[in-house]
Structure 1
Amino acid sequence: MAIVDVTDQSFKNEVEGAGTVLVDFWAPWCGPCKMIAPVLEELDQEMGDQVKIAKINVDDNPDTTSRFGVMSIPTLIVFKDGQPVDKLVGFQPKDALKSVLSRHI
């Protein structure tokens, strides 16, 4: 499964209507966000059949960003059946992300 770009308008359909979803709140000017992008690509290749990965640009989508209280980026929120169940702030290594996701699959 490919990583999906979501917006304020598509968030409900893409995230809240799915099973386990990891949402990356990011911005193009954010250094740690650029560092985590290849980690998310690897995760998608390894766990794509179990977890959907979505990215939302905080600059372009302020409604969703504020709705979930995102104050720093990157922020990664795990959603299970439309509800936020875990939140990580800052760069995370792949093993840490896999560990968190495995609790919610």
Structure 2
Amino acid sequence: MKNKLKLSRSIVSYDALSDIDETFNLGDETLLFSLKEDILQIECEPLGVLVDVGWYPEFNPRGRFRIYVIQHGDWDQPLEEKTAKNLAQLFDALTAIIERHAL
């Protein structure tokens, strides 16, 4: 996934998302162990912005990817929160966030 994201001033500081097959099926129980709260982090130091991606609830096939955009460590008031039910939606949401915040 990280190679698909066009980042201009940011770095991928954590990436477990690339380990998830793009054709993943929630019926595959072995995949469920990859669906955890810590999946992807993108950092943009010049803006003090962090994009955090996780699966909530963790290991639950009924869960969703959740994206948080955090500025200056303020987790109580995220700049944005988005959800996605599959990798295609997640990629679209991340692309829009990266463009909107010039990351």
TM-score range, shorter chain: 0.3 to 0.5
**Greater helix share, structure number:** 1
Larger Rg: 2
Q: What TM-score, normalized to structure 2?
A: 0.38
Higher relative contact order (CA 8 A, sep 6+): 1
